[in-house]
Chain A
Amino acid sequence: MSEHIVEIVIFTALFVLVSAMGFVAARWRRPADLASLNEWGLGGRNFGSWITWFLVGGDLYTAYTFVAVPALLFGAGATGFFAVPYTVIVYPLVFLVLIRLWSVSHVHSLVTPADFVRVRFGSPTLALLVAITGIVATMPYIALQLVGIEAVLTTMGVQGAGFLSDLPLIIAFVILAAYTYQSGLRAPALIAFVKDVLIYIVILVAVIYIPARLGGWDVIFGRAQEKFAASPAPGDGILLNAGNQLNYITLALGSALALFLYPHSITGVLAAKNRNVIKRNMSALPAYSLLLGLIALLGYMAIAAGVKPSVGENGKPLTNTVVPNLFDAVFPDWFAGVAFAAVGIGALVPAAIMSIAAANLFTRNIYREYLNKDATDAQEANVSKITSLVVKVGAVLFILLIDPQFSIDLQLIGGVIILQTLPSVAIGLFTRWFHKAGLIAGWVAGMGTGMVLLYNISNPAIDHAHFGGSAFPLEKLGLDTKMTIYAGFLAIIVNLVVAVLGTWLARALKVPDGPDGTRPDHYTADEGDPRIKDLDLSGST
């Protein structure tokens, strides 16, 4: 442990600094009263372009992404690079969608995607399904942020058996839980500045310094090529092959469609001050995509540097420790400490936003809908604060008591299931054509399809006969091909087809549809336009 002492000191110092900022955040842009979801859960809906850029960037590009994507390239090569096309197409894809979501949420004071479904389709059941989908998809994602911190701690030699070895992780999450409780969304918004500045510095240094040390990019790609040529696995290599191209593009497209359906992404967007802030960020957020693309290549640098992942308690290699081990091997101790802090703090920002988003879903769409219909703003804020604590405790227990691999599997499933809310949330923003019964039927069909497909994907590399990945071999459907496709993509197609058929059927049978609480002009409203509460008041005078 002593050889890592400099790293540990720097890591701890930066961690303490950031924690202090988290508590101070309650005073930052101080509102008259924090006791409402508008303030605690959405930071007052008043963030400008810069804060939104840091916040949403810190929210979408998580610590887990930063360790997992290079680990994918380290293990399989080109297929892991899907993260780049994924994060290129997502912004033009959601450009027109998010501004409509922002507007209708502004007018109706909506906090969650399920809130929107509730007012648009007038169906508490459909809203509940969307809320539960969001919570289930988000929970393992929070747990995975801990995997990011754990990977760093393991590399610094903080590991072993028993309670003591888990203590740093527990302390980190207790502090996180405390300042999120106190400051709400303002805490991650403020911390995101530090996190992102650290990450940008570390990666810029890494992509200049490491290739120079290793002999240039030619050498790095060359050694990666040699490694994959020598391995027996059929799907790896520094280029795609005929079998995995379809999976590559459907995974990129499916992930892009799913990204802004995640409740935590929507939380970040709704905290923006106006529509122009969102539009500007659609052009500015790709800066993080460039960062992610460069980070991905750290996987090849690790191959070229001959770095091996740490070995876990069960004797198996922990692939997610590849990047921390690379930093440990090539950087001087003090800078490795900075890099580890960047990853560790990088986990706190999304973990805080995700727990806030999950808590808001519970409060608005379960507590308020089913338990206390007349909840006041203060009660809502209180329930959300407590739920955010529960959510984080759950995530810690999840990681400590159950094999982390289980969280990774669940997160994979999470991407497939959150995609099933696309027809009600994203398409619902543009058309009210679907019948609520059709949407519910589509959701059920899409979920079922997704689960069956994922169940039938095996992966010998991690000893999984089922739920071994998201690339579904088309030959299992009787097609004579080696091609694979993203399971979520097939599931959303089934979902859409059933939703259309169900809508026709419901109309033919004259099943009553829910009322639409929105008007067309609500979808183009901007900052300063009246909200529904204001409209009610003006109507009564």
Chain B
Amino acid sequence: MTSEKPPVRSDRSPWNWLLLLPIAVPLLPFLYNADEPRLLGFPLFYWLQLAFILLGVVSTTLVYRMTR
């Protein structure tokens, strides 16, 4: 073989475990299935699940930055 081999890469990283957090948390209804406390008139059920979007963004961004 005269052609040079591409460098060996790996997707393995301990940071990847962080991805489990935003997968698991939204699947636990006891955390958010309630009316109180309300935020700006939103029942907990709605504002907390919308807040989980932020959790997802922070987790995936961190994993991307740390494994780049």
Contacts and interface: CB of A to CB of B under 8 A. Distances in A.
Interface of A: 78, 81, 84-85, 88-89, 91-93, 95-96, 99-100, 216-218, 220-221, 238-240, 245, 248-249, 252-253, 276, 279-280, 282-283, 286, 289-290, 293, 297, 521, 523-526, 529-530, 535, 538-539, 541
Given A239-B33, A249-B28, A282-B64, 10 more contacts: A78-B45, A84-B50, A88-B52, A89-B23, A95-B19, A220-B41, A240-B45, A283-B57, A290-B50, A293-B49
19 contacts: A78-B45, A85-B26, A88-B56, A91-B60, A92-B20, A96-B11, A100-B11, A217-B40, A217-B42, A220-B41, A239-B35, A239-B45, A276-B64, A283-B64, A286-B53, A293-B50, A525-B6, A526-B9, A541-B2
Nearest to B64: A279
Contacts of A539: 1, 3
Interface residues of B, number: 41
Contact of A91 (B9, B42, B45, B56): B56
B40 A89 contact: no
Contacts of A286: 53, 56-57
B43 A245 contact: no
B46 A88 contact: no
Given A283-B57, A538-B2, A245 B29 contact: yes
Contacts of B3: 530, 535, 538-539
Contacts of B23: 89, 92-93
A229 to B, nearest CB: 13
The A contact surface, by secondary structure, is: helix
The B contact surface, by secondary structure, is: helix
Interface in B14-61: 16, 19-23, 26-29, 33-35, 38, 40-43, 45-46, 49-50, 52-53, 55-57, 59-61
A88 B26 contact: yes
Given A239-B34, A286-B53, A286-B56, A88 B43 contact: no
